Amino acid sequence: MIKIKSSAEIQKMLKANEIAAQALSFAGRSIKAGMSTYELDKLIHDFIVGKGAIPSSLGYCGFKGSACISVNEELIHGVPSKKKIIREGDIVSVDLTTLFDGWQGDNARTFKVGAVSPEAERLLKVTEEALYKGIEQAVPGNRIGDISNAVQTYVEANGYHVVRKYIGHGIGTEMHEDPEVPNFGKPGRGPRLVPGMTICIEPMVNSTTPEVNVLGDKWTVVEANGNLSAHFEHCIAITNDKPLIMTLESH
Ligand code: MF3
Ligand code: CO
Ligand code: CO
């Protein structure tokens, strides 16, 4: 069931999402070569708590971290670890969720650590642009499939692959609500978009295959060929007008 939010509810969600965006920006500023993903996670935890919010990924289905931190071929759900050291030239995906006043915020971005390879640069650029291609379609009258297809078309036109096994989602008082928001599909299909719908659009893009594997820790999802992957996510609201990107640091 898709829950349509009132404008008062959207206002509350904005706060949770602003904190999520601030925390993500803080994470980007905090990443340094030589630090472990565990250390980065602790910084993110303290930042979110310092804003009066709850890092809602912590303990979610048993997840041991306040953020998912995924390095290079790791796509999503990287478990923060003292053994995972971030190096110059890595790409680091941070995906974090915040609970504030009963409402969830959720966003992700793949950061560069110092200078990265031209392939990494292009992958990040295409994945972020694919997110905005999806957001452009998030207008009343369109359907979820229009978002999905815009993301897929752009990613594949650039020679990359969208992951099928993991998808975007509705969001509200729960981190994951209806509808499903895949990064692949046909235009004109799926639920119709109406004002008050709040969804996370989150292209997950692999360099060389749509396939993924899950590591022995049961969480970390990796590009099946061991090549680079990237993840960008915004939480948006459908309005009567343009899509409202809720995961901005201020409004
Ligand atoms: N933030 C993720 C999403 O975009 C979900 C987090 S999984 C968790 O849907 F286990 F870390 F919570
Ligand atoms: Co997320
Ligand atoms: Co999400």
Q: Is the CB of 233 under 6 A from ligand 1?
A: yes
The SS3 of residue 245 is: strand
Structure confidence by residue, pLDDT tens digits, 92-146:
999 999 999 999 999 999 999 999 999 999 999 999 999 999 999 999 999 999 9
Tell which residue, 133, 101, 142, 97, has the closest CA to residue 10. Answer: 101
Structure confidence by residue, pLDDT tens digits, 57-69:
999 999 999 999 9
- Beta bridge partners of residue 201, listed in sequence order: 234
Q: Is the CB of 146 under 6 A from ligand 1?
A: no
Confidence of residue 228 (pLDDT cuts 50, 70, 90): very high
Tell which residue, 49, 37, 104, 48, has the closest CA to residue 77. Answer: 37
What is the arithmetic mean of pLDDT over 201-226?
98
Ligand 1 closest atom vs CA 95: 1
The pTM is what?
0.98
What is the arithmetic mean of pLDDT over 18-30?
99
Distance 35 CA to ligand 1 centre (A): 22
| Alpha helix positions (H), the chain | 7-30, 37-50, 118-136, 144-157
Q: How far is CA 172 from CA 10, 21, 59, 70, 208, in A?
A: 9, 16, 18, 25, 34
What is the arithmetic mean of pLDDT over 148-175?
99
Cα-based angle 29, 35, 41 (whole degrees, multiple of 5): 65
The whole-number pLDDT of residue 97 equals 98
Structure confidence by residue, pLDDT tens digits, 34-60:
999 999 999 999 999 999 999 999 999
